[in-house]
Amino acid sequence: MSARAAVAVTGLGLVTPAGVGAAATWAGLLEGRSVAALDMELTGLPVAFSCRVTDFDGVALLGHRLNRRLDPFGRFAVAAAREAVADAGLGPGRWPAERVGVVLGVGASSMSGTEAAVEMVLEGLPDRVSPFALPRTLPNMAAAEAALDLGTQGPCFTVSSACASGAHALGVARDMLLSGACDVVIAGGAESGRSRTSAASFARIGALSTRGDEPDLASRPFDLDRDGFVLGEGAGILVLERAADARARGARVRAYLSGYGASADAHHITAPHPEGRGAIRAIRAALADAGLEPADIGHVNAHATSTPMNDVAEAGALGEVFGPLAPPVTAFKGVLGHAMGAAGAIEAAGVVMSLERGLLPPIANLDKLDPAIDLNVVTGRPRQVRRAPAVSTSFGFGGQNAALVFSPA
């Protein structure tokens, strides 16, 4: 690993539909069962199921006042950030606050709060709109609230590139460390996109699975019978430091974020380039940044949304980069659904845990591989793999592409 690549992951925090906390999420991924279920908040819509965070007790985790002030994506972000910082052995008083940054990816924040405020205005009740209605739904508020909660005073901002937001945020955070702008960066993504407006719009686009009679079978990456993604939510936070700094303070290094690549398709507002050209460029850029060759990669964590076009395009891109001897490929959206702006960060945290254990969770609901997809997919049960670097991919509307390379510690 080159000197440029020496950025350590020292802490993880997760809030996902599989559970609150990194351990609970990992256990859910290993089980390989989708958590999608009917969603009462979406009743009456063409698609009325989702992957929800169901066991999050905001009052117990955050206290009544903070829980009341925040929208769901902000709650998830603060809770995951607290877990990640504690996992890293850091926190207020243990760092120079002005040298600690917060960079979070957010795609759509939490439209449900805006919907509630608009409903009040339309009913002629503007005086009943919460004073927090606007500030708590701003996309930058996940990062801002995490900084407020932890007392960090370094750079604090939001990256928004649709479903690649979380991965881009991690890449930007890595660059901030390598440039010397920060000594520690709390990075990742947060999202709660299960609003009625989001669900209706995605359904109109034709992006969502319509398997409403069997929601737990709806998200099925790379499967022949896939018909769209399932709305998800959550947050994934990683604490990043320069490796030399982490070693100097005796921190446990969980993995290294050793490469980052990004590109744009410049092809279509929602559809990927059919040949995956932008994805190919991003993956190759991440490998070059890490100083690695395709043969050095031990596994790929695919974006794999379970949509017909996207999965084929991504499979083609992976085939082009890695060739006929491609490494094993897994994907988490079969279990967790699609957390959009948070997905890349949640999946990055999962990659770190995979590298620590040499174990890949299976792709949920992948019963019959699409004949158009020629990949070495992980199905049925977890698979042991060699200790080697891994690639994680993320792609978003507008042709936003990101790839990250993680290396075992």
pLDDT (tens digit, 9 = 90+) per residue, 91-100? 999 999 999 9
Q: What is the overall mean pLDDT for the chain?
A: 95
Mean local confidence (pLDDT), 125-147 = 90
In the annotation, is 168 catalytic?
Answer: no
Say how far apart CA 193 and CA 391 lie, in whole Å: 26
Of all helices (H) and strands (E), which one includes residue 380? none
> How does pLDDT run across 9-67, given as a tens digit for each residue?
999 999 999 999 999 999 999 999 999 999 999 999 999 999 999 999 999 999 999 99
Q: How would you class 167 by CB atoms within 10 Å of its CB: exposed for 0-12, middle for 13-18, buried for 19 or more? A: buried
In the annotation, is 156 catalytic?
Answer: no
Q: Say what the pLDDT of residue 113 is.
A: 79
Residue of 161, 163, 408 whose CA lies nearest to 303: 163
Per-residue tokens: 348: 């990055």
Residue of 407, 100, 362, 135 whose CA lies nearest to 245: 100
pLDDT greater than 70 at residue 2: no
Q: Say what the pLDDT of residue 3 is.
A: 44
Q: Say what the pLDDT of residue 89 is.
A: 98
> How does pLDDT run across 204-248, given as a tens digit for each residue?
999 999 999 999 999 999 999 999 999 999 999 999 999 999 999
Q: Say what the pLDDT of residue 274 is.
A: 86
Q: Which of 168, 273, 299, 303 is catalytic?
A: 303
Say how far apart CA 119 and CA 133 lie, in whole Å: 12
Mean local confidence (pLDDT), 388-394 = 98
From residue 408, how far is each of 88, 177, 283, 388 by CA, in Å? 17, 19, 18, 6
Other CB atoms within 10 A of residue 307 CB: 24
Q: Say what the pLDDT of residue 169 is.
A: 98
Q: How would you class 141 by CB atoms within 10 Å of its CB: exposed for 0-12, middle for 13-18, buried for 19 or more? A: buried
Say how far apart CA 142 and CA 140 lie, in whole Å: 6
Cβ-Cβ contacts under 8 Å for 153 (sequence gap 6 or more): 97, 98, 100, 147
Of all helices (H) and strands (E), which one includes residue 242? strand 233-242
In the annotation, is 182 catalytic?
Answer: no
Cβ-Cβ contacts under 8 Å for 262 (sequence gap 6 or more): 164, 168, 171, 282, 285, 400, 401, 402, 403
Q: What is the CA radius of gyration of the chain?
A: 20
Amino acid, res. 259: G
- Percent of the chain, pLDDT > 90? 87
Q: Say what the pLDDT of residue 178 is.
A: 96
Q: Which of 51, 156, 163, 182 is catalytic?
A: 163
> How does pLDDT run across 247-256, given as a tens digit for each residue?
999 999 999 9
Residue of 256, 371, 200 whose CA lies nearest to 7: 256
- Render 37-100 in DSSP notation, one character per residue: EE-GGGTTSS--EE----S--HHHHH-HHHHHHS-HHHHHHHHHHHHHHHHTT--TTSS-GGGE
Say how far apart CA 55 and CA 20 lie, in whole Å: 7
Res. 5 pLDDT band, cuts 50 70 90: low
Q: Which of 168, 273, 299, 338 is catalytic?
A: 338
Phi, psi for 185 (deg, rounded to 5):
-130, 130
CA angle 286, 292, 297 (to 5 degrees): 90
pLDDT greater than 90 at residue 272: no
